[in-house]
Amino acid sequence: MGVSQPGTLTVVIDAGHGGDDTGGIGVDNVTEKAIVLQIAHLIALESVNSPKIKILLTRSADQYLAPGERLARARGAQAFLSLHLNFSYDPRMRGITAVVPDKADPHTHALADALRARLISATKSPDLGTQTAPLWLRRLPIPAVQLNVGFITNPQEARQLAQLAYQKRIAQAIVAALEEFF
């Protein structure tokens, strides 16, 4: 993990799942782990010219990391975003949600709302709000948000999520939200 320059914000991007843990599986056997890893790489690329933020990835390949390993990679960072896709038994469900740990501070809630708003604007997906849950992210002493950037179980949304152009829009929205928020 590198050291950020003065005035730069270090944000860890955690591509959920990995290795034997595929996460959700959508139409055409597209996997959550592959989509969120691709989006994480695109976020890192999108941020290269940003003077305000430095992106670090918890994983850069298809490997499983336990929550403790993911937490350790956040050392020295000022924010942590975990990328996921949503799942529903109703294939019509679609949209974007942010999830924050229960008992998260107002700053974390505000970050989640800012990220979600940018994603909604960029993707035109339904806004399913910010939720709280007893996530392992609560163990981080920094703002930590899980972003569910779509439903892998919705055939239309899963096909969109598998497209590079759509993934780039998601990455650009996340970088823009981080630059504006911090």
The model's pLDDT over 41-79, given as tens digits with 9 standing for 90+, comes to 999 999 999 999 999 999 999 999 999 999 999 999 999
Mean pLDDT on 97-126: 97
d(CA 1, CA 49): 19
52 φ, ψ (degrees, to nearest 5): -95, -30
d(CA 99, CA 146): 5
Side chain identity, residue 138: R
Give the pLDDT confidence score for residue 74 in this predicted structure.
95
Give the pLDDT confidence score for residue 2 in this predicted structure.
39
d(CA 174, CA 147): 10
The structure tokens 């604007």 sit at 121
Give the pLDDT confidence score for residue 7 in this predicted structure.
78
3-state secondary structure of 62: coil
Show me where the domains of the chain are located.
9-181
The secondary structure of the chain in percent helix, strand, coil, rounded to multiples of 5, reads 40, 25, 35
Give the pLDDT confidence score for residue 6 in this predicted structure.
60
Report the percentage of the chain scoring pLDDT > 70. Answer: 97
Confidence label for 134 from pLDDT (cuts 50, 70 and 90): confident
Mean pLDDT on 103-123: 97
d(CA 142, CA 7): 17
Cα 148 from chain centroid (whole Å): 7
Mean pLDDT on 139-150: 96
The CA angle 66-79-43, to the nearest 5 degrees, is 80
Confidence label for 1 from pLDDT (cuts 50, 70 and 90): very low
CATH number of 9-181: 3.40.630.40
Per the DSSP assignment, residues forming a β-bridge with 53 are 9
Q: Smallest Cα–Cα separation from 43: which of 107, 158, 122?
A: 122
